[in-house]
Structure 1
Amino acid sequence: MSATRYRAPPADALVIAPLDEIVAVFHRASGITHLVGPEIPDLLDVLAAQWLTADAIEAAFEQVEGDRSALIATLDELVAAGLVERG
């Protein structure tokens, strides 16, 4: 069984605008603007147009052990919002 992978749209499919303590992410394909935490644009950038496993995502952010459940929860929220695909 292969590991679950995640992918965000290409960077040019999103318009990202910081708004004080939150960030607006406009998804061109859906026409929806999402308000997200300040760490989400970095995550979307890592996932832009490429499939990565949670292990690869953790390595990109050098997360400490034990953050896996928080990462998966964040990815699940982004999938539900339509900003990330699960494959």
Structure 2
Amino acid sequence: MEAATYRAAPDATLRVVPLDALTLIFHRASGITHVVDSPVPEILELLGDDALTTEQLLARLADHFAVADADADALRARLDELVVAGLVERRCAT
């Protein structure tokens, strides 16, 4: 059975504005502005339009950032939170 894949919500749906150490993300579809900290902007940037499994995203994060102690379960939980917020889309394997 294939794992679920994740991708960032389409650019047309999100407006991302860095603000000092935080990032504001306006989700046009819901009208909600999310105030987020690292690693959310980095996750969205690395996902982009690509549909990635948790393990693939973890590998990309490791390539770009010092995440030696990264945990796939913790990343999956964070991705699921971002799905609920509408910032990430999840496609379940069929």
Does 1:27 pair with 2:41? no
Aligned residues: 87
Does 1:74 pair with 2:81? no
Residue 66 of structure 1 and its aligned partner are, at CA, apart by 5.2
Would you identify which runs of 4 or more consecutive aligned residues in structure 1 move more than 4 Å? Answer: none
Does 1:2 pair with 2:2? yes
The answer to whether the 8 A contact 1:25-1:35 is kept is: yes
Deviations 1:27-75 (A, max 9, x none): 2333321111132111101111220001110110114355112211110
Bigger CA drift: 12-21 or 56-65?
A: 12-21
In structure 2, what is the equivalent of residue 84 of structure 1?
A: 88
TM-score (normalizing by structure 2): 0.77
Q: CA RMSD in A?
A: 1.8
5+ long unaligned stretches in structure 2: none
Q: 1: distance between equivalents of 2:33 and 2:18?
A: 12
5+ long unaligned stretches in structure 1: none
Q: Secondary structure at the match of 2:58?
A: helix
Identity %: 47
TM-score (normalizing by structure 1): 0.83
In structure 2, what is the equivalent of residue 49 of structure 1?
A: 49
